[in-house]
Structure 1
Amino acid sequence: MPTSRTPHRKDMIRLFTALEIPDEIAERLARLQRGIEGVRWIERDDFHITLRFIGDIPENVADDVDAALAEIPFAPFELELEGVGAFGGTKPHAVWAGVKMTEQLKLLQQRHESAMRRVGLPPETRNYTPHVTLARLKGRETDEVYRFIEANNLFATPRFAITRAVLFSARASTGGGPYVVERIYPDELPGEEED
């Protein structure tokens, strides 16, 4: 099969790397999901902290992505969530819970960005703003979103452990959940070897 052919849609896979949200923190996030009518609230099982959105890529490039991510050193660390906000300014399109930036998170995100550039993907041009998306909005009244933010701006969670990074796939073309775990990094933690 010639390798120079243009991939068809079915040969593409939409990927992103992220950190998972533990159940007890997901429960706190789920309790925030009220107060804005007619939005698409994110399913609890799909909560995550994106490290690097990769996008739609050919499946053979996905193998290169996996190999590059597997080389990134990983040490467990802790995070906490703090505050809520919205993306989109005067036309908000998503509401989120904030993630308090740490040196470990910043370094891990930079390593994921560098790995994707080595694979040949274009650099991410947006500044990294760690967050957990709570809802996607379509034509919502700005006042309604601002009231949601005001009502929940003191939201905070205890610190929680991050023990791995994950390569997720999303539904082609539309994105969104349910997300599927494709790979885990590191694939085996110390002390988890099988006998």
Structure 2
Amino acid sequence: MPRLFTGLEIPADVAFALSLKRGGLQGSRWIDAENYHITLRFIGDVDIRTANDVADSLDRLSNSTAFTLKLNHLGAFGGDKPRALYAGVEVNDTLIRLQAAHERVLQRAGLEPEGRKFVPHVALARLRGATAGDLARFMAMAGRFEPLEFSVGRFVLYSSRDSVGGGPYVIEQSYPLAEFAA
């Protein structure tokens, strides 16, 4: 059974810049730069027939328009018990529409609705045992986050192994987006 999700790839130059944030946070398991991505929709473990239906359904979204994204801050999930460090995405209406279209198409393909609110981000580290104070010190030492901007010309269907998290991820299929309007 494949474990699937849809997402956006992070270009190598942006991934390298993000990887420079690695280190200095106790209780962190850093994600390899080649596994950085922005998840659009987690699908989960599905049978081969459902996987094929999902892949076919996503073809309908290739008329979405290419766009530009900006990563503009560091953040964390988990509040007083932080569990992940991430690079956050600046609010982007085109990204929100694309993610909502994924949700609609995948529900039509028979998947249950996603229960979590969409918070676009690039996971940098999984945290275990790091305190909110540790995280605050790390973020203060990290200094100003220089925004990283890149063009998005496609989305992909990823598969992963059932693991502790952080990859490796395999691109099963890619879906080009329509070029920018002139």
User: What TM-score, normalized to structure 2?
Assistant: 0.91
Larger radius of gyration: 1
Cα offset for 1:59?
Answer: 1.5
1:163 aligned residue: 153
Partners of 2:4 and 2:44 within 8 A in 1? yes
1:15 match: secondary structure: strand
Partners of 1:47 and 1:133 within 8 A in 2? yes
Partners of 1:170 and 1:176 within 8 A in 2? no
Partner Cα distance (1:183, 1:60) in 2: 15
1:61 aligned residue: 50
Partners of 2:7 and 2:38 within 8 A in 1? yes
Considering only aligned residues, what root-mean-square deviation do their CA atoms show, in Å?
1.7
Identical pairs, percent? 46
Bigger fraction of residues in strand? 2
Distance change (3 Å), C-alpha of 1:115 and 1:156: farther
Partners of 1:82 and 1:154 within 8 A in 2? no
2:31 aligned residue: 42
Give 1:63's aligned amino acid: N
Cα offset for 1:159?
Answer: 2.2
Partners of 2:82 and 2:130 within 8 A in 1? yes
Structure 1 segments, 4+ long, off by >6 Å, are none
1:133 aligns with 2:154: no
Cα offset for 1:51?
Answer: 0.5
1:22 aligns with 2:11: yes
2:22 aligned residue: 33
Partners of 1:78 and 1:162 within 8 A in 2? yes
Cα offset for 1:94?
Answer: 0.5
Unmatched 5+ stretches in structure 2: none
Partner Cα distance (2:104, 2:4) in 1: 16
1:177 aligned residue: 167
Give 1:43's aligned amino acid: D
Cα offset for 1:149?
Answer: 2.4
Partner Cα distance (1:17, 1:43) in 2: 19
Of 70, 91, 108, the residue aligned with 2:98 is: 108
Cα offset for 1:24?
Answer: 1.1
Partners of 1:18 and 1:166 within 8 A in 2? yes
User: What TM-score, normalized to structure 1?
Assistant: 0.85
2:43 match: secondary structure: strand
2:144 match: secondary structure: coil
Cα offset for 1:60?
Answer: 1.0
Cα offset for 1:142?
Answer: 2.2
Name the count of aligned residue pairs: 178
Partners of 2:6 and 2:157 within 8 A in 1? yes
